[in-house]
Amino acid sequence: MNDALDVALRLLIVFVVFLTFPLIVGQTEHKVMAHMQGRLGPMYAGGFHGWAQLVADGVKFAQKEDVVPAGADRRVFQLAPAVALLPYLLVLVAIPIGPDEGAVGQVLDAGIFFVLAVMGVGVLGSLMAGWASANKFSLLGGLRTAAQLLAYELPMLLAAASVAMAAGTVSLPGIVDAFEWWWLPWQIIGAIVFFVAGLAELQRPPFDMPVADSEIIFGAYTEYTGLRFALFLLAEYAGIIVLCGLTTVLFLGGWHGPWGADGLGWVWTLLKSAVLAFIVIWLRVTYPRLREDQLQKLSWTLLVPLSLAQIALTGIVKVVIQ
Amino acid sequence: MAPIPGSGLAKGLAVTLRTMTKKSVTEQYPDVQPDLPPRTRGVIGLFEENCTVCMLCARECPDWCIYIDSHKETIPAATPGGRERSRNVLDRFAIDFALCMYCGICIEVCPFDALFWSPEFEYAETDIHELTHERDKLREWMWTVPAPPALDPGAEEPKELAAARKTAEKLAATQAAQTTPASQAAQTAPAAPTAPTAPTAPTAPTAPVEQPEPPADRADARPGPTEPPADRADTRPGPTEPPAGRTDAKPGPNPEPESGSNPESESGPNPESGPNPGHGPTASEGGAS
């Protein structure tokens, strides 16, 4: 009974985090992007600096009609948003934010495997949406998504593998436990590769070729309206949370910080994740979209070699210090 | 030297970050009224006291958006045996802002300074027909006309001021000559009879003969720009008299129709031009005299 309650509570907390954090990131994006462009952003909804803008957006989405195109593959079309969103919820369960038992939804021995495998499933949602929509723009978007997944999953895995090598474990809490401050310079290349590849997998600008609204409307999500469309958007922002959390845990030492080691570790995790989320937004505002060929070129000619070099470096250092 | 690879990317990040720390340029319009420059072309106000129904604005308007109706009124002769005067009375003055293209030609062309730009811009309507605004509304907008910005420090003296100052100087010279000893008075005496009339109201002596009424108004409006001159007259030694000189100079029939023709408009403009000093030139004659 106690175990069941414990599990239920953990899942509830993860679920609440899953529902609120993306909104916080989304609102931050509204405001940060606006100010980076010399604007104010939302100012009305909720009264104080438009804090309730995304709540209002959610209400609006919920009121809209849920349209399924006549030619669409109905089942797949309707299932796609769930497939896009749920993996991030599952990944969130495995991300530790503090050193003790209570600070992670579920400790998994094969944490990295689980996390990366499940995150890869999220892209399937976009593929399904693109294929099932019976729309050429959706199809193009879906294919671009697939190409992007292929190109960026590899450097992401390699970079993660480098950390696993360094720590000698694939468990996420185990990696953070093994973390020393000098890992930061040691794994910096891997960190950058992981972060950039993660951005590309989330289809965040500047890697948003699959949804490039100026050429293919909104890619795989073109035919979606209302709540299902909102779920895709939520998936993107949940993806930001997951990516920032993972980068923090794998490369930035999670709950390790200069001070406040006992009891306040989770603050460090959240703080580092928040900074990374800000960088995600910052990159979106600053850079224009990469062309499809540039996107592929960046991965295959830059990120993959870099991550391989990182693995080599990790291996050499690992051998030397033993 | 080749730029460091990636320096462009860093520069881009710096630009966005710097912009974020600066104050945003958003105008929160409905909450905060915009700070408009004084020459903003918001709406056209009508200073109807100055309007003589000359129709120039309506005729010059490129898209014919000004509607003017008027009728003629006859004013009985001021002196027994004199001639009746007639004048135009404005019945309707409307501008269709659905047609108006805000070119400002009507304002430029108005010889009596009856039309002004106002920065007021909140007069949207839900029906296009309601955009035809009548004279009362146009008159109300006059209250929103700001004072014109001051001239640049080194700017040329405005023509009105120069002319008025010249007049005042001449008059002062004449008066100085009159007050000086007889010997000098003898020299200026031949000039004296003409001088008092000519400089003060150049049109006055001739105009009333053919066209009694409009010139009277014109005499109002033209030398009208003398409010600034009035200032100047204060600073100058003699010219506090010019107004007096003028009334003196105009022989009998002229002043009466003038004052009798539109008493309201003559007294009216002045208190109204008070809050908007910029209109000085328009309605100032009464104030100056």
Model confidence over B157-207: pLDDT tens digits? 888 888 999 999 999 999 988 887 555 545 544 444 444 444 444 443 443
Please indicate whether, in this complex, the C-beta atoms of B17 and A32 are within 8 angstroms of each other: no
A36 to B17: CB separation less than 8 angstroms, yes or no: yes
- pLDDT for B172 equals 92
Instruction: Kindly report the nearest CA distance between residue A103 and chain B, in angstroms.
Output: 34
Q: Which residues of B fall within a CB distance of 8 Å from A34?
A: 24
What's residue A1's pLDDT? Answer: 58
A290 vs chain B: nearest CA distance in angstroms?
Answer: 13
What is the model's pLDDT at position B3? 79
Distance (Å) from the alpha carbon of A206 to chain B's nearest alpha carbon: 12
Q: How do residues A59-70 score in pLDDT, each as one tens digit?
A: 998 898 888 888
Residue written as token pair 């093994």: A178
Q: How far apart are CA B77 and CA B84, in angstroms?
A: 4
Of A211, A278, A208, which Cα lies nearest the Cα of A243?
Answer: A278
**Residues whose CB falls within 8 Å of the CB of residue B275, separated by 6 or more in sequence, listed in order:** B143
Q: Which of the pair, A39 or A181, is modelled with greater confidence?
A: A39
Rounded average pLDDT over A222-239: 88
- Which residues does chain A have within 8 Å of residue B10's beta carbon, measured at their own beta carbons? none
Q: Is the pLDDT of residue A178 over 60?
A: yes
Q: Which among A34, A38, A286 is the nearest to B13, CB-wise?
A: A286
What part of A 259-288 touches B (C-beta under 8 Å)? 282-283, 285-287
**Could you say which of A39, A282, A285 has the minimum Cβ distance to residue B26?**
A39
Rounded Cα–Cα distance for residues B123 and B45 (Å): 13
User: Which residues in chain A are closer than 8 Å to B15, comparing Cβ atoms?
Assistant: 286
Q: Which residues of A touch B22 (CB under 8 A)?
A: 38
Which pLDDT value is given to residue A193? Answer: 92
- Classify the phi-psi angles of A203: left when phi > 0, otherwise alpha if psi is within -120 to 50, otherwise beta: left
pLDDT of residue A261: 64
Query: Which of B12, B19, B28 is nearest residue A37 as measured by Cβ atoms?
Result: B19
How far does the CA of residue B122 sit from the closest CA of chain A (Å)? 22
Q: What is the pLDDT of chain A when averaged over all its residues?
A: 85
Shortest alpha-carbon distance between residue B123 and chain A (Å): 24
Instruction: Give every residue of chain B whose pLDDT is below 50, as ranges.
Output: 185, 188-289
SS (H, E, C) chain B: CCCCCCHHHHHHHHHHHHHHHCCCCCCCCCCCCCCCCCCCCCEEEECHHHCCCCCHHHHHCCCCCEEEEEEEEEECCCCCCCCCEEEEEEEEEEEECCCCCCCCHHHHHCCCCCEEEECCCCCCCCCHHHHEECHHHHHHHHHHCCCCCCCCCCCCCCHHHHHHHHHHHHHHHHHHHHHCCHHHHHHHHHHCCCCCHHHHCCCCCCHHHHCCHHHHHHHHHCCCCCHHHHHHHHHCCCCCCHHHHHHHHCCCCCHHHHHHHCHHHHHCHHHHHCCCHHHHHHHHHHHHC
**Residue in B13, B24, B28 closest to A38 by CB:** B24
Given A32, A35, A282, which is nearest B13 (Cβ)? A282
- The reply to whether residue B19 touches residue A39, judged by beta carbons under 8 angstroms, is no
- B282 compared with A144, residue with greater pLDDT: A144
A300 in reach of chain B (CB within 8 A): no
The Cα of B30 is separated from the nearest Cα of chain A by a number of Å equal to 12
User: Which of A102-106, A251-255, A286-290 reaches the highest mean pLDDT?
Assistant: A286-290
Spatial CA neighbour of A239 closest among A195, A184, A176, A291:
A195
Closest residue on chain B to A287 (Cα): B12
The CA distance from A211 to B233, in Å, is: 75
Say how many CB pairs under 8 Å bridge A and B. 33
The tens digit of pLDDT for each residue in B75-92 reads 888 888 888 888 889 999
In the predicted structure, residue A313 carries a pLDDT above the cut 80: yes
Q: Which CATH architecture has domain B35-75+86-147?
A: 2-Layer Sandwich (3.30)
Residue among A288, A276, A280, A218 at smallest CA distance from A251? A276
Establish if A82 touches chain B: CB-CB under 8 angstroms: no
Q: What is the pLDDT of residue B148?
A: 78
Residue A214 pLDDT > 90: no
- What is the predicted pLDDT for the residue at A182? 82
| Chain B, nearest residue to A32 by Cα | B20
- CB B20 to CB A39 under 8 A? no
Contact with chain B for residue A33, Cβ under 8 A: no
* pLDDT at position A260: 62
B20:A36 CB<8 A: yes
Rounded CA separation A188/A314 (Å): 11
Distance to chain A for B19, nearest Cα, Å: 5
Q: Which residues of B touch A37 (CB under 8 A)?
A: 19
**Chain A residues inside the 8 Å CB shell of B20:** 32, 35-36
In 3D space, the residue among B146, B64, B132, B57 whose CA is nearest the CA of residue B94 turns out to be B132
Parse chain B into domains and list their residue ranges.
Answer: 35-75+86-147
Coil, strand or helix at A212: coil
